[in-house]
Structure 1
Amino acid sequence: MEHTLSAENGFQLGLFAPNASSGLAITKVPERWSGAWDENVALARLADRLGIDFLLPVGRWIGWPGTSFHEDVLETITWAAGLLAATERIRVFATVHSALIPPMVAAKQLATLDRIGGGRAGLNIVAGWYQAEYEAFGLDLPGSPEQRYGHAQEWWDLVRTLWASEAPFDHDGTYFPQLRGLHTSPRPVHGTMPVINAAVSPAGRGFATRNADYLLTAAFDPRRGAALVDSVREAAAREGGRDIGVLSNAYVVCRPTHAEAEEFLRYYAQENADWDGVDTVMSGQGINPQSFTQEQIDMFRPRFAAGHGGHPLVGTPDEIADTLVAFAESGVSGIALSFVDYLGELEYFASEVVPRLEKAGIRGRSQGS
């Protein structure tokens, strides 16, 4: 299978979490991303013009207590619908919690989304991990990843079958019993759409290798990225010869000089970091003294302040391009990027870094070049 987020561009570049206030930077600086709708529209149109390949939102139903981080988060399906209607080329993903939206509803919503975008919609499946969100829906978070991904598997099987079946059908499963007369129309433009799954646990990786086109996971550096890509592709090959790409995420501070980039990083992610927010988010994601050493926690905290634990792309255009080329050479398919101020920083990144990637041969010439 060929990965087709934007096949002509080669190494994929996307924007991660622009639907959320603060993006992925857990900071108090006034110039942090607002996540407002009008800014999202302006960003999507700019990214579309510059040849960025995809937009990937975070799915969040409630905020983090005691912090303004992700205080305002636009719902992802309606967000994607608006942005697909406002753009021409870029792919826009919807992040969907499989435990919270029934398969019949999701199948109809996603197909409608894809029709709005003329075949440019994508799906990021989230099996669930945040206890407080389940409680807000009156649900119990299943105790094991195997249960959460078992539910997600049955959910995705139903969505795919709804898209493929010409006739109504019944379903009586483990997580979705006694469903009768299932049928939906219209279907996605091409029958389905690209699927991303972010996973860390063995159960999550198994789900991704069985179902996703791309696994989104942390590749902490290009060397580790190569080993990760090999292990994921070997696992996917065992799942009936499937092929799967690997996406990672990174936060960007791109400036004309390295000193300027380091100065801005220090300003927003050290001097003005929301440290209470950092600790709340890390604890909510299970990074706590019960699971990690204090040394590991101390190592994670600055990266969470800077970009929710993503890989640092901090420096000059040459330095950042070199790192992205190294990721591409390791086999990583692309990077989902975040900025402190997406709209204020993207054009400089695109004008300075992307041509270097094109010259290195890892990307084709973009629409905005």
Structure 2
Amino acid sequence: MIIDQNFYGNSVPYKLSELIKKVQTLFPDLYHSNSILKDISIESCATIQKANKQDLVFIENPKYIKYLKNIKVGCIVIDPKHSTFVNNKNSFLICKMPRRIFAFCLSLISPGNHLPASESKISRNATIKKGVILGKNVSIGKGVIIGENTVIGNGVIIDESSEIGSNCTINYSHIGKNSLIYPGARIGTTGFGFNFDDKGVYKFPHRGRVIIKNNVEVGANTTIDRGSLGDTVIDDNVMIDNLVHIAHNVCIGKGTIICGQSGIAGSTVIGENVILGAQVGIAGHLKIKSGVILSARSGVTKDINKAELMGGFPAVPIMQYRKQKATINRITKQYNKKKK
């Protein structure tokens, strides 16, 4: 993964052997063993799906083990309980709590303490209203309107003819053309990425961005978290209502509509032209096929691989959901009669 230097500064490469030595020293209770195929320079960190030959990756969720067969990366951090999957195609760092070790390595390779030096580029045709705070190295395109008291963080890019409402905060983001961000939106916030170790809670470093493409609407007081590894992506012509939460690394396909108070957990991928009714909840690391419609207050707990109308919790095809409701109502009525 290429960590955006515009937001996070230059990465600090480490020899693999040096990185492993630091882990051995600082986490002796977690370290198990290692297998170095080649002592290369680790230059970045990535998800296992998008890594290249000099990236560090980790596997904690068993659903990602399938990628081990065909990838070629710098090194894989993996739990001892999955050590049977270790092969001679890659280097491995075998330790307990792979996410904790990976988070430590990521903080070394990308400290994230960048202070932009270059000048901002603000179009003469942009409208910057009263109370706006602009960070360094921002790019504001032709015809952009930024409402009162909005804060635009360092390095943010807003393309031409987009409008940002009042009292928004936008960080670590690139917003495309002709997009409309309603008042109070929070874009580019750190995701809710944390875990536990023997010292308590630790935060997982976030080194991704939010990419909002063209002709997108983001409703009032909606929050879109930036990616932890990789980006959170909102594709063209997506319509997002008020009070929606989109977590880190979510990808939303073209033409999708998301109604108010819905929440999408991290790393879920939603296809094109999907419709989410009000107060829909979608768990993390799922895939929703293009064309799916989720009725209001649906709860999605597994992948949806067929384009159809779904409802209920857990979400099922709508006719099945209606039959379930009818059956429950009938049983309840029978129970109440017997009780009397």
TM score, norm. by length of structure 2:
0.21
Relative to total residues, which structure has the larger strand share, 1 or 2? Answer: 2
Q: Which one has a larger percent helix, Structure 1 or Structure 2?
A: 1
Between the two structures, name the one with larger relative contact order (CA 8 Å, sep ≥ 6): 1
